[in-house]
């Protein structure tokens, strides 16, 4: 069994090995990626460390707050891991191109299960693991955990990652069993709805607003109860927190590690039994064809009419991309997730405690204004990574048609830019408008905010496309996999860098206004000059970060 397991994983390992070997330019690229990764990792470590040190200054509650933050972080990670596992398991157990060869080989079923589970585990966890490492180092440094902390962490986090991978694989198997004929499309639709449920549930479980403002709890005792009580005693994330936090607090209990490992082992056994009973039938049903007749609805005709003023070739490219998007469930199902994210975000801004005794805290408004810019910018970057970054990779093997046609390949860039930029800008402006109304910012700042999010969406669209062109994933098995590639990560890093520069470009001219709102200062509105300089700097910066990647990608396409 073990030798078959090794053989089954060998193509993936060999692919990784071949990739890591490479030519001079590839090595340079790997060094660059490594350096960027280290830089971001250090930034994260530094941020968490600073946060923990601030929290520890709170008398009596400091340690509780620090572990509560870890608990919240791990619940979020568990949710991400479960969702990623569902998508990864669908790909590795049912959609992978090597499955017909494996199914036709006399391979041990248990080895196949473990090999596919390993692939699911690795592809769903690597990004979360990269985020987790600096976070754990920060905890170790601040709490002086020593080498023992790392040992406990390894023992606690292996089952932490394994449990959602097994559960995700099992749920995917059950979904394919329930929806045989309509195959992966319905499964992914279901996964999206499930993800929505998870998110809402996660928010209810966390009730983060109770942590924000101790005054909101009627009694200090209530507040302490919130802090002391486990966020979610039935989730493996809480057991993981109990294991590592217990160690840092000098009250380590091996029970939590035993609970994690026994749960993981039990689930692996259950998963294997489920796989042996159901996989052959599910795999067969996943291959079944379905009637996929397409009818032209009135909506489509209206959309075609709307695009009719465009030149024929450009119109056809846009129509083709729109059709492909809405007929690909792995693509549009993410819209549901996006809608929930936006609603949750706007809601959170709505309930922010920016008024004290009904008086608007001006300093808090200006801080939250920049925080809002950062967060909504991050949301936009994440959306661009999900929807815009994969668009060139999705052309992949069909590029021969454009390449042999009398259309310049860079025309593709044009159509993909606008098909991404228009909805993203509309969303960005709506997001910025709604949140700033709730924050009660003045007209000047409102204009700045609307313009900034609009130009940021153009810049992010251009950058997502360009990274997608330079780091294409032509072999990806579905659109949802593409953003988790190295190119996707680089895009996110670049976009966050762009966002930080924009925030600086606005903060520097507006800093006198921001500080005027603080206690002791003379509160005032920003002057026209301050707003004008902030606006011009933002436009210049985003103009540059839109045009440079756009041109570079166009040149690459025409080369």
Partner 1 sequence: MIVLEGLTKKYGDFTAVAAIDLEIPANCIFGLLGPNGAGKTTTLRMISGILRPDAGRVLLGGHDVHEAPEPAKALLGFVPDRPFVYEKLTGAELLRFTAGLWGMAGPEVETRIDELLELWDLTPWKDQLVESYSHGMRQKLIISSALVHNPTVLVIDEPMVGLDPRSAWLFKDLLRSFVDKGGTALVSTHTLDLAENLADMLAVMHRGELVAVGTLEDLRRQASAEGASLEEIFLRITRGATDEDIERVLSR
E strand intervals along 309-354: none
C-alpha closest to that of 499 among 350, 384, 336, 419: 384
C-alpha closest to that of 340 among 197, 218, 455, 459: 197
- Residues 409 and 403: beta-carbon distance below 8 Å: yes
> Which is closer to partner 1, CB of 20 or CB of 262?
20
Tokens standing for residue 71: 């608990």
C-alpha closest to that of 295 among 270, 323, 271, 273: 323
> Which is closer to partner 1, CB of 94 or CB of 139?
94
- Residues 321 and 415: beta-carbon distance below 8 Å: yes
CB of 345 to partner 1, least distance (A): 30
CB of 479 to partner 1, least distance (A): 11
> Which is closer to partner 1, CB of 263 or CB of 409?
409
> Which is closer to partner 1, CB of 399 or CB of 446?
399
CB of 31 to partner 1, least distance (A): 21
E strand intervals along 490-547: none
CB of 401 to partner 1, least distance (A): 7
- Phi, psi (5° rounding) for residue 355? -115, 135
> Which is closer to partner 1, CB of 177 or CB of 320?
320
What b/e readout covers 17-55, taking b as 16+ CB neighbours within 10 angstroms?
eeeeeeeeeeeebeeebeeeeeebbeebbeebbeebeeb
CB of 99 to partner 1, least distance (A): 17
- Residues in contact with partner 1 by CB under 8 A are 23, 289-295, 312-313, 315-316, 319-320, 323-324, 327-328, 396-408, 559
Tokens standing for residue 242: 């109990």
> Which is closer to partner 1, CB of 251 or CB of 305?
305
CB of 305 to partner 1, least distance (A): 14
- Residues 422 and 435: beta-carbon distance below 8 Å: no
Q: How far apart are CA 425 and CA 430, in angstroms?
A: 8
Neighbours of 475 (CB within 10 A): 11
> Which is closer to partner 1, CB of 39 or CB of 474?
474
CB of 554 to partner 1, least distance (A): 15
């Amino acid at each position: 069994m073990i030798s078959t397991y090794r053989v089954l994983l060998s193509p993936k390992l060999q692919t990784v090995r071949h990739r890591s070997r490479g030519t001079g330019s590839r090595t340079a690229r790997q060094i660059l990626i490594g350096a960027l990764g280290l830089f971001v990792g250090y930034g994260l470590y530094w941020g968490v460390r600073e946060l923990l040190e601030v929290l520890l200054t709170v008398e009596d509650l400091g340690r509780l707050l620090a572990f509560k933050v870890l608990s919240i972080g791990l619940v979020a990670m568990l949710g991400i891991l479960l969702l990623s596992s569902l998508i990864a398991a669908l790909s590795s157990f049912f959609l992978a191109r090597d499955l017909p060869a494996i199914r036709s080989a006399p391979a041990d079923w248990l080895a196949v299960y473990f090999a596919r589970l390993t692939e699911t585990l690795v592809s769903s966890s690597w990004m979360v693991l990269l985020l987790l490492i600096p976070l754990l180092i920060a905890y170790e440094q601040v709490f002086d955990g020593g080498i023992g902390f790392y040992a406990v962490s390894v023992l606690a986090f292996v089952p932490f990652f394994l449990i959602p991978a097994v559960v995700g694989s099992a749920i995917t198997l059950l979904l394919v069993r329930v929806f045989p004929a309509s195959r992966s499309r319905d499964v992914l639709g279901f996964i999206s709805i499930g993800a929505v449920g998870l998110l809402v549930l996660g928010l209810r479980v966390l009730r983060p607003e109770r942590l924000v403002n101790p005054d909101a709890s009627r009694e200090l005792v209530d507040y302490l109860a919130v802090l002391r009580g486990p966020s979610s005693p039935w989730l493996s994330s809480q057991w993981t927190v109990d294991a590592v936090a217990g160690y840092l607090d000098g009250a380590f209990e091996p029970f939590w590690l035993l609970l994690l490992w026994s749960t993981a082992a039990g689930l692996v056994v259950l998963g294997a039994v489920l796989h042996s009973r159901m996989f052959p039938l599910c795999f067969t049903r996943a291959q079944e064809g379905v009637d996929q007749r397409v009818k032209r609805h009135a909506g489509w005709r209206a959309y075609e009419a709307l695009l009719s003023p465009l030149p024929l070739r450009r119109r056809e490219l846009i129509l083709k991309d729109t059709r492909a998007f809405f007929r690909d469930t792995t693509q549009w199902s993410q819209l549901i997730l996006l809608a929930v994210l936006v609603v949750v975000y706007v809601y959170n801004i709505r309930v922010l405690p920016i008024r004290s005794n009904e008086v608007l805290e001006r300093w808090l408004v200006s801080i939250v204004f920049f925080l809002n810019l950062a967060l909504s910018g991050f949301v936009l970057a994440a959306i661009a990574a999900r929807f815009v970054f994969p668009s060139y990779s999705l052309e992949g093997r069909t590029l021969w048609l454009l390449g042999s046609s009398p259309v310049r390949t860079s025309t593709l860039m044009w159509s993909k830019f606008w098909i991404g930029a228009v909805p993203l800008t509309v969303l960005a402006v709506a997001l910025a408008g709604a949140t700033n109304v709730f924050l009660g910012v003045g007209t000047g700042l409102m204009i700045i905010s609307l313009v900034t999010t609009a130009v940021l969406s153009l810049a992010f669209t251009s950058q997502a496309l360009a990274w997608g062109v330079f780091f294409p994933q032509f072999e990806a098995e579905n659109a949802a996999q593409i953003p988790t590639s190295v190119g996707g990560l680089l895009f996110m890093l670049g976009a966050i860098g762009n966002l930080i520069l924009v925030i600086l470009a606005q903060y520097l001219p507006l800093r006198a206004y921001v500080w005027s709102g603080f206690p002791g200062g003379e509160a005032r509105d920003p002057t026209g000059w301050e707003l004008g300089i902030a606006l011009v700097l933002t436009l210049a910066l985003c103009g540059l970060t839109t045009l440079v990647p756009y041109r570079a990608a166009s040149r690459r396409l025409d080369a």
